[in-house]
Amino acid sequence: MDERGPSKSQRKREHRELQLLAETLIALPEGRFRKLRLGERAREELEAARAMARGGSLNRQVRLIAQLLVDEDIEAISRPSQELEARAREETARHHAAEKLRERLLVEGEKALEAITATPEQRERARGLLLDASSAAPTSRSTPARRELYRLSLEILAGH
């Protein structure tokens, strides 16, 4: 029976995962950070890291925190950061969908507008924005009308 334990490579991978968790915990918003169940020393070191500027000292602090996290309940600690990451992915997907809708409206115009679910006010606003966007210089990618059409796309996708 082999009782040598995990290999050096495995220990390095595990420590790197703890460092990534430490970096995530440092970046958490204050309200979520306060709710974490941490030991006193780990909390103190995380608070110190949150006040540090990027650089070598922060990197050393992250490695120290990773060592302290070994004694913590990783599942309970990582849950808030996983929720934050999931929300960020959802937000990114929502913005991509709004960009696609805006581009579809710009390319297809009225045909695309009829195919989407929007209120009569949103449709009328979109018609005006499409007219403004089409009359702008073709090389101008960030016209006010395009930006407003993007905001309207977000609103339509949210169902408001």
C-beta of residue 125 within 8 angstroms of C-beta of residue 102:
no
Residues 48 and 154: their CA atoms lie apart, in Å, by 39
CB 133 within 8 Å of CB 109 = no
Please say whether the beta carbons of 77 and 69 come within 8 A.
yes
Query: What pLDDT is stored for residue 111 in this prediction?
Result: 85
Pick the closest to residue 132 from 119, 150, 145 (CA basis).
Answer: 145
51-92 pLDDT, tens per residue? 888 888 888 999 999 888 888 777 777 776 677 778 888 989
Cβ atoms within 10 Å, residue 26: 20
Contact between 96 and 159 under an 8 Å Cβ cutoff? The reply is no
For the chain, the first-to-last Cα distance in angstroms comes to: 64
Predicted local distance difference test score (pLDDT) of residue 75: 75
For residue 99, what pLDDT is reported?
93
As averages over each run of 10 residues, the pLDDT of the chain (160 residues) reads: 78 87 85 82 90 86 88 74 78 92 87 82 87 69 80 86
- pTM, 2 dp: 0.52
> In terms of residues, how long is the chain?
160
pLDDT in the model for residue 29: 82
Task: Measure the CA–CA gap between 69 and 115, rounded to whole angstroms.
Answer: 52
